[in-house]
């Protein structure tokens, strides 16, 4: 159960259902409140109209017995005097009970009509003999509304009442209570509530089911990607690719990015395998040579080639240092943030080398690893000395935010189709030369990796003298 609820489909379905449920409940409540308010307003208007009709008749002196009262079932009306005695009412109206609203609300209901009122005062009011009567024939503008109940023909129902005071032409002050039935309001609200209670669960089930089906179809490619990735992990076959759906959406882009990642990973793994194989091959020769010399020297000390053994040991040491530096670069080692003058480094590295000429070496401050940039320059000069006929020209200048170092030789140069391959590891374009003279083919690869780690570039093109010109660009600190 927990696993099912943990799926994207289940969470999306639950979230969509909850959101729709909250929205529907809020909308339903608003509809019910609005419907009830509108119906009550309609009942108030109807009660107000009936009360004013009776009040106008009283103001014009229509006798109580001749009042045109509406149907008691829908609009019960009673007229009471100041003392609360009923002076006019439909014979079917047995009692009225009005609950005051607003600021006039009291602790209970107010019965209309009090048979215990003072009879003498009633007679005075009925005869129009008020001690200090107000203006005769006047209907008050103040209408009070309240809800209550009325018993008509033995049935008690809820009504909306309007209470209106009127002064007759004889000076008697009366209150007209007119009601409008709330049965329509109660019926409409009840019907709407019943419809919502029935429709809401059905709608939520529909929304939940539709969301689950749509989400399942939308996530089906994701399951295919997951299954293929699991198969790739189990088989360790990085040449496989996940299926890419033809939907041009986020899932399609996810599959495309996953395949790009697999391709990059396959390239990286293949590069590492090739690197290990090449490194093993490069190490095998000096180790075998050194072992042979030591075995011969052990059996025949007079034949021990000390110089050859030392050369093989130095070669092993350099190769191990190159491999260690490449491993650190592949691991993402960041260069130190030291600041130094690149021109001083160029002069120090060029000093003592034959055939190396400094042409316009200007002071340029850069930031990074001094030892790594020294290694770059040394590798470029070593490469130039292996291929130059007579001279190597070194220039250093600034171009905008860049420090530009150029190392040009007058050798045979690098063919255009080989200018990217020359920076690959263990690549030697001149296969005819010996390993002892040509090196392991790691110098230029190390130089480019170091340049990249310093935020720069290393490229090769044809030199003005026809040889190879290597250009190193790294950010300057100016």
Both 468 and 363 in a single domain?
yes
- The winner for highest mean pLDDT among 133-142, 231-240, 437-446 is 231-240
Check whether residue 222 and residue 256 sit in a common domain: no
Does pLDDT of 377 surpass 80? Answer: yes
pLDDT mean over 322-329: 81
DSSP state string for 11-29:
HHHHHHHHHHHHHHHHHHH
Q: What angle do CA 82, 86, 88 make, to 5 degrees?
A: 115
Given a cut of 70, is residue 110 above it in pLDDT? Answer: no
Whether the predicted pLDDT of 373 surpasses 90: yes
The answer to whether residues 326 and 342 belong to one domain is no
How many domains does one find in the chain?
A: 3
pLDDT of residue 122: 44
Highest mean pLDDT: which of 214-228, 297-311, 427-441? 214-228
Which of 54-58, 100-104, 165-169 has the weakest average pLDDT? 100-104
- pLDDT, residue 183, reads 86
Residues 267 and 380 in one domain: no
What single-letter DSSP state applies at residue 470? E
- At residue 474, the pLDDT reads 94
What is the crossing angle of helices 8-59 and 183-235, to 10°?
Answer: 170
How many CB atoms are located within 10 Å of the residue 36 CB? 16
From CA 424, how far away is CA 407, in angstroms rounded?
19
Q: Are residues 31 and 114 in the same domain?
A: yes
CA angle 112, 114, 115 (to 5 degrees): 140
User: What is the domain range of residue 462?
Assistant: 338-475
What are the Cα distances from residue 108, in Å, to 81, 176, 180, 222?
21, 20, 21, 67
Residue 411 · residue 388 · CB < 8 Å: yes
Most confident of 2-6, 120-124, 225-229, 392-396: 392-396
Q: Is residue 39 part of a domain?
A: yes
**Number of Cβ within a 10 Å radius of residue 314:** 11
Residue 447 lies in a domain: yes
Is 243 a member of any domain?
no
**Residue listed under structure tokens 């390993």:** 435
**25 and 148 co-located in one domain:** yes
User: Residue 400 domain-assigned?
Assistant: yes
Instruction: State the CB neighbour count (10 A cutoff) for residue 226.
Output: 12
pLDDT at position 185 is 84
Res 439: pLDDT: 60
Rounded Cα gap, residues 6 and 9, in angstroms: 9
Give the span between the Cα atoms of 96 and 181, in whole angstroms. 13
DSSP 302: G
DSSP state of 133: -
Question: 3-class SS at 291?
Answer: helix
Determine the pLDDT at residue 69: 85
Q: Let me know: does 474 contact 402? Beta carbons within 8 Å.
A: yes
- Distance between CA atoms of residues 276 and 268, nearest Å: 12
Q: Which residue has the higher pLDDT, 424 or 451?
A: 451
User: Pick the residue with more confidence: 332 or 203?
Assistant: 203
Mean of pLDDT over the chain: 82
Name the range with the highest mean pLDDT among 89-98, 261-270, 276-285, 313-322.
Answer: 261-270
- Tell me the CATH number at 444: 3.30.565.10
Q: Of the residues 330, 362, 385, which one is the last residue of a structural domain?
A: 330
Reply yes or no on whether the pLDDT at 114 is more than 60.
no
Residue 147's contacts (CB-CB under 8 Å, 6 or more residues apart) are 98, 99, 101, 158, 159, 160, 161, 182
Going by pLDDT thresholds of 50, 70 and 90, the confidence category of residue 100 is: low
Domain co-membership, 326 together with 356: no
Better pLDDT: 325 or 114: 325
Same domain, 291 and 361: no
Instruction: Name beta bridge partners: 92.
Output: none
Residue 366 in any domain: the answer is yes
Mean pLDDT confidence for 99-107: 43
Kindly state the percentage of the chain with pLDDT values over 90: 25
User: For the chain, what is the total number of helices (H) and then of strands (E)?
Assistant: 10, 14
Q: Is 460 a domain residue? A: yes
For residues 451 and 329, the answer to whether their CB atoms sit within 8 Å is no
pLDDT given at position 105: 33
Per-residue DSSP letter, 128: T
127, pLDDT greater than 50: no
Predicted local confidence at residue 131, as pLDDT: 38
Same domain, 121 and 215: yes
Query: Strand order in 468-475's β-sheet?
Result: 356-361, 392-399, 402-409, 468-475, 457-462
Residues 271 and 144 in one domain: no
Which pLDDT tens digit goes with each residue over 350-366? Answer: 998 999 999 888 899 99
Question: Which is nearest to 167 in space by CA: 124, 128, 123?
Answer: 128
What CATH number corresponds to the domain at position 324? 1.10.287.130
Residue 245 located in a structural domain = no
Let me know whether 342 and 193 are in one domain.
no
95 vs 129: which has the higher pLDDT: 95
Phi, psi dihedrals of residue 332, rounded to the nearest 5°: 85, 25
For residues 149 and 40, membership in a common domain is answered with yes
**Which of 310, 330, 350 is the last residue in one of the domains?**
330
**Average pLDDT rounded to a whole number, residues 204-215:** 88
Rounded Cα–Cα distance for residues 312 and 291 (Å):
10
């Amino acid at each position: 159960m927990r696993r099912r609820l943990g799926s994207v489909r289940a969470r999306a379905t639950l979230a969509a259902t909850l959101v729709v449920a909250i929205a529907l409940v809020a909308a339903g409540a608003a509809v019910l409140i609005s419907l009830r308010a509108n119906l009550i307003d309609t009942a108030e208007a109807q009660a107000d109209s009936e009360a004013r009709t009776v009040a106008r008749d009283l103001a014009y002196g229509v006798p109580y017995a001749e009042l045109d009262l509406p149907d008691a079932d829908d609009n019960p009306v009673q007229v009471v005097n100041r003392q609360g005695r009923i002076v006019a009412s439909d014979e079917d109206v047995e009692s009225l009970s009005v609950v005051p609203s607003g600021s006039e609300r009291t602790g209970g209901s107010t019965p209309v009509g009090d048979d215990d009122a003072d009879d003498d005062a009633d007679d005075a009011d009925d005869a129009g003999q008020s001690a200090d009567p107000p203006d005769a024939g006047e209907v008050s503008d103040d209408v009070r509304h309240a809800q209550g109940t009325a018993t008509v023909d033995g049935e008690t129902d809820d009504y909306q009442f309007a209470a209106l005071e009127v002064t007759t032409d004889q000076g008697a002050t009366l209150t007209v209570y007119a009601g409008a039935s709330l049965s329509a309001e109660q019926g409409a609200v009840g019907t709407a509530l019943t419809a919502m209670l029935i429709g809401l669960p059905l709608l939520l089930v529909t929304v939940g089911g539709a969301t689950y089906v749509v989400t399942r179809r939308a996530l089906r490619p994701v399951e295919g990607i997951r299954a293929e990735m699991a198969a790739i992990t189990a088989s360790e076959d990085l040449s496989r690719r996940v299926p890419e759906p033809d939907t041009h959406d986020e899932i399609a882009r996810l599959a495309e990015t996953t395949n790009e990642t697999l391709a990059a990973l396959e390239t990286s793994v293949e590069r590492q395998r090739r690197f290990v194989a090449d490194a093993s091959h490069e190490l095998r020769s000096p180790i075998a040579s050194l072992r042979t010399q030591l075995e011969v020297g052990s059996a025949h000390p007079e034949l021990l080639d000390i110089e050859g053994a030392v050369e093989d040991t130095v070669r092993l040491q350099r190769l191990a240092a190159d491999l260690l530096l490449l491993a650190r670069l592949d691991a993402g080692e960041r260069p130190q943030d030291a600041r130094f003058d690149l021109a001083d480094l160029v002069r120090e590295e060029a000093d003592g080398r034959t055939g190396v000429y400094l042409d316009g070496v200007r002071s340029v401050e850069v930031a990074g690893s001094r030892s790594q940039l020294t290694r770059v320059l040394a590798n470029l000069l070593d490469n130039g000395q292996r291929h130059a006929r007579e001279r190597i020209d070194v220039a250093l200048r600034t171009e905008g935010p860049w420090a530009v170092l150029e190392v040009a030789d007058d050798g045979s140069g690098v063919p255009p189709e080989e200018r990217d391959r020359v920076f690959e590891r263990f690549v030697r374009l001149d296969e005819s030369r010996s390993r002892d003279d040509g090196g392991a083919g790691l110098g230029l690869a190390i130089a480019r990796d170091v340049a990249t780690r310093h935020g720069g570039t290393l490229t090769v093109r044809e030199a003005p003298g026809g040889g190879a010109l290597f250009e190193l660009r790294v950010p300057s600190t100016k």
